[in-house]
Amino acid sequence: MNLLSPPPQLIRPRRHGDARGWFTETYNHDTFAALGISCTFVQDNHSLSAPQYTLRGLHFQTPSRGQDKLVRCIRGRIFDVAVDVRRGSPTYGKWVGAELSAENGQQLFIPIGFAHGFLTLEPDCEVTYKCSDTYAPAHDGGIRWDDPAIGIDWPLPPGVPPELSAKDKVQPLLADFDSPFPYDGCPIAPLS
Which residue is catalytic, options 53, 92, 116, 129? Answer: 129
Residue 161 counted as domain residue: yes
Query: Element (H or E) spanning 104, and its range?
Result: none
Q: Which domain holds residue 167?
A: 9-176
Q: What is the pLDDT of residues 85-102, one digit of tens each?
A: 999 999 999 999 999 999
Query: Which position among 16, 29, 59, 139 bears the catalytic label?
Result: 59
Q: Is residue 2 part of a domain?
A: no
Q: What is the pLDDT of residues 50-79, one digit of tens each?
A: 999 999 999 999 999 999 999 999 999 999
- Is the model's pLDDT at 162 over the cut of 50? yes
Strand order in the sheet with 140-142: 95-101, 77-84, 114-120, 55-61, 140-142
pLDDT score recorded for residue 5: 73
Domain count, the chain: 1
For residue 59, indicate whether it is catalytic.
yes
pLDDT tens for 11-55 read 999 999 999 999 999 999 999 999 999 999 999 999 999 999 999
135-148: per-residue pLDDT in tens?
999 999 999 999 99
Q: Does any domain span residue 88?
A: yes
In a domain, 148, yes or no: yes
Q: Does residue 182 fall inside a structural domain?
A: no
**DSSP string of 49-93?**
E-STTBEEEEEEE-TTS---EEEEEEESEEEEEEEE--BT-TTTT
pTM for this model (two decimals)? 0.94
What is the CATH classification number for the domain harbouring 22? 2.60.120.10
User: Is residue 27, in this structure, part of any structural domain at all?
Assistant: yes
pLDDT, averaged across the chain: 95
The sign one gets for the Cα dihedral 174, 175, 180, 181 is positive
